[in-house]
């Protein structure tokens, strides 16, 4: 049975390790770190209502809390790794703990072999240390995709809300989210695996945008695209549907078919998105182009209407492929959930008309690699 304190502890550890990963990637006072630190402090308060102090011990590579082993997961593994790297065998936190002290702990957890941070107990945080040692294999912790999804979801909603309210978009937020994804991709030994955690939630904009981001990054990675272009492709994916924020929610969330008038309005989202992004400082040009082109189709028979000779950017073709796949997976457009074979056969049918053929084959290759490595249930239904 899961005890309430287990939930708080798991949350606390996830927040601390995510904050530490952010501190390692950016800097210890980064606002994302400060935000997670504040949330961690809240979780600690919940735990202190049950326990007089929080003592975590490491015994035989197992984390022990309140005399019981803590169920392992990615965050627990990461915490164990950090404690091990710093030679910390136990950690005690007292109820008086304040934000700066907790930030100190996060900084210690973010320590990597190339970063010197002194480990010393503070007023309310005490360390039990064995020898300090480093693991050569230890790499800077990348953010897990699931964790990004959890911690960034609300932030992303804020960003979209900003657009909806016709305010200026803050590109730093988008950049950070995409950087997190790119780092998560890079920290995975196998880029194919990174699209496994795709989830379908009701929060359409966030889920859809992050799905398209991950799918685009997977496509770009297998093509050998790296560096700034990879980041820009991720950013373009996150923002491809930003124009939908200017469409009435009644049309966006209508469950039945759109009538002719509504469909005309809906078809304006690429242009509205591109116009908005064009006027937003710091947005990569590629995001403007992708927002405008992502429904044009490979045969240029889509919308906005253009000449047959219009040449689209490769990112727009990729986004159309990711979009088509995501629509089938999350059955926004289909009543029944489709299995992977049905999805593949539909996409093969569309290759050369709606979708860019070579990029579609490459994408299906990504899917079949994933198929070999995962149980089909991971992605055949949603």
Which residues form the interface with Fe ion (CB under 5 A)?
241, 323
Minimum CB distance to Fe ion smaller for 232 or for 323: 323
d(CA 146, CA 169): 25
CB of 240 to Fe ion, least distance (A): 6
| Cβ proximity of 88 and 120 under 8 Å | no
d(CA 212, CA 337): 19
CB of 93 to Fe ion, least distance (A): 44
CB of 219 to Fe ion, least distance (A): 15
Minimum CB distance to Fe ion smaller for 101 or for 232: 232
Minimum CB distance to Fe ion smaller for 142 or for 243: 243
Minimum CB distance to Fe ion smaller for 152 or for 241: 241
Minimum CB distance to Fe ion smaller for 36 or for 338: 338
CB of 256 to Fe ion, least distance (A): 19
Minimum CB distance to Fe ion smaller for 43 or for 293: 293
Listed in order, strand segments (DSSP E) in 17-66 are 54-59, 62-65
d(CA 207, CA 35): 22
**Cis ω for the linkage preceding 70 (within 30 of 0):** no
CB of 331 to Fe ion, least distance (A): 14
d(CA 18, CA 266): 38
Provide the residue count of the chain: 382
CB of 295 to Fe ion, least distance (A): 6
d(CA 258, CA 116): 60
Q: Which tokens sit at 291?
A: 């927002």
Count of beta carbons in the 10 Å neighbourhood of residue 347: 20
């Amino acid at each position: 049975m899961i005890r309430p304190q287990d939930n708080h502890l798991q949350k606390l550890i996830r927040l601390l390790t995510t904050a530490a990963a952010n501190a390692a990637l950016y800097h210890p006072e980064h606002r994302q770190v400060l935000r997670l630190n504040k949330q961690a402090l809240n979780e600690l308060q919940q735990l202190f209502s049950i326990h007089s102090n929080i003592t975590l011990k490491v015994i035989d590579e197992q984390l022990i809390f309140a005399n019981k082993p803590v169920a392992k997961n990615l965050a627990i593994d990461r915490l164990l790794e950090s404690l091990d790297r710093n030679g910390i065998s136990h950690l005690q936190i007292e109820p008086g703990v304040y934000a700066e002290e907790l930030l100190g702990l996060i900084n210690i957890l973010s320590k990597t072999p190339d970063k010197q941070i002194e480990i010393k107990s503070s007023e309310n945080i005490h360390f039990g240390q064995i020898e300090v040692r480093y693991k050569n294999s230890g790499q800077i912790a990348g953010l897990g995709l699931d964790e990004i999804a959890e911690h960034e979801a609300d932030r992303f909603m804020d960003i979209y809300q900003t657009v909806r309210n016709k305010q200026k978009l803050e590109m730093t937020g988008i950049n950070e989210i995409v950087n997190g994804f790119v780092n998560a991709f890079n920290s995975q030994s196998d880029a194919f695996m990174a699209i496994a955690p795709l989830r379908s939630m009701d929060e359409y904009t966030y889920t859809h945008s992050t799905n398209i981001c991950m799918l685009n990054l997977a496509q770009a990675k297998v093509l050998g695209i790296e560096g700034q272009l990879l980041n820009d492709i991720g950013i373009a994916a996150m923002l491809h549907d930003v124009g939908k924020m200017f469409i009435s929610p009644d049309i966006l969330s209508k469950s039945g078919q759109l009538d002719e008038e509504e469909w005309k309005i809906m078809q304006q989202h690429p242009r509205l998105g591109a116009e908005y992004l064009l006027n937003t400082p710091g947005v990569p040009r590629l995001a403007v182009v992708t927002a405008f082109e992502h429904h044009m189709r490979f045969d240029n028979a889509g919308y906005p209407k253009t000449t047959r000779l219009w040449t689209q950017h490769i990112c727009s073709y990729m986004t159309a492929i990711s979009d088509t796949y995501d629509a089938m997976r999350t059955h926004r457009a289909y009543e029944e959930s489709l299995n992977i074979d049905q999805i593949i056969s539909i996409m093969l049918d569309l290759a050369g008309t709606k979708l860019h053929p070579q990029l579609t084959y490459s994408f299906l290759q990504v899917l079949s690699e994933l198929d070999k490595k995962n149980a089909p249930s991971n992605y055949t239904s949603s």
